[in-house]
Amino acid sequence: MNQKVIHEETDKLHFLTVRNLPENSMDMEVLQQLFMNLSSISSEEKLKPVVIKSAGKNFSTGYDCSCHLIKDNDFLLSVITLGSGILQLIRNYEAPVVSFCNGYTLGAGLELALISDYSVGEKGSSYGFPDINFEFPSIMVPPEGFRNFLSGSSLKELSSGKIFSCNEAIDYGFISRQGTLKDAEDMAISLNNSFFRRIKSSRFMPNEVIKSYAHYIETANTKLIRLKDLESFRKKLTGAA
């Protein structure tokens, strides 16, 4: 298995760096390695904050469009099961998990930022969930679960599939603030307190919502997913075409 998520540790922090260049797209290996690293970190006696970041120019442009297996219901269900596992690991981890987003943060990349306890966006970064316009399902957050992270008006904007600037993303609550990687590190350390730990789990949806979404995916019409069109859209957007 290629190393697509790199774990580094300092006295105060864990760093998980997604490295699936050029666009840091999510695929089965990335999800598996995020899950395994978060599981390992969670089992340690001393829980330290985690900063999730990416190598290269983009945080993540979303799930890998070259994976045509995603149209197979069983495979899609395995992806979503893994994605919901990452969500639950972050929910249950008693120390803060902070995402630092640079470049484009789209689709599953934005889901990862949303389920993090705090997110910092680099100046000039962009955000969105264009996947919805191509019938590509969410893989970490069930559609109903987005309401736990966003207001009704913000969810309506996100559901438009538009691309948002960093300032717009902050206004709608897609990310927490603009800043640098150092700001993300400092915030992760400052949030590591007993008050934060008491309120953390209240942000997340009940397990019944996750189970209901998995049940829906079992029979969803995956033929509607337009992988090639989504891939073309992403390439034009990021200048990779």
Spatial distance between the Cα atoms of 222 and 137, rounded to a whole number of angstroms: 9
pTM listed for this prediction: 0.96
Residue 112 lies in a domain: yes
Whether 217 maps to a domain, the answer reads no
Would 66 be classed as within a structural domain? yes
Q: Tell me which H or E stretch contains 233.
A: helix 227-238
| Segments forming the whole domain that contains residue 107 | 5-194
**Residue 241 pLDDT greater than 70, yes or no:** no
* Structural domain contains residue 166: yes
> What is the C-alpha separation between 239 and 104, in angstroms, rounded?
11
CATH number for the domain harbouring residue 177: 3.90.226.10
Query: 191-207 burial string, b = 16+ CB within 10 Å, else e?
Result: bbeeebeeebeeebbee
End-to-end Cα separation, the chain, in angstroms: 28
- Rounded-to-integer distance, Cα 157 and Cα 172, Å: 8
- Nearest-5° angle of CA 92, CA 4, CA 129? 65
**Residues 214/81, Cβ–Cβ less than 8 Å:** yes
pLDDT (tens digit, 9 = 90+) per residue, 37-63? Answer: 999 999 998 899 999 999 999 999 999
Over the stretch 98-121, which tens digit does the pLDDT of each residue have?
Answer: 999 999 999 999 999 999 999 999
pLDDT tens by residue, 204-226: 888 999 999 999 999 999 999 99
| Integer Cα distance of 134 and 228 in angstroms | 9
- Res 34: pLDDT: 98
214 in a domain, yes or no?
no
User: pLDDT at position 2, please?
Assistant: 87
Q: Write the DSSP string, 85-118.
A: HHHHHHHH-SS-EEEEE-SEEETHHHHHHHHSSE
Residue 208 lies in a domain: no
In a domain, 237, yes or no: no
| 170 has a pLDDT exceeding 80 | yes
For residue 63, the cross-strand partners are 26
Average pLDDT of every residue of the chain: 95
Residue 240: the pLDDT is: 66
Q: For CA atoms 119, 3, 92, 197, give the dihedral sign.
A: negative
Residue 91 lies in a domain: yes
The Cα–Cα gap between 22 and 240 comes to 9
Length of the chain: 241
Count of domains for the chain: 1
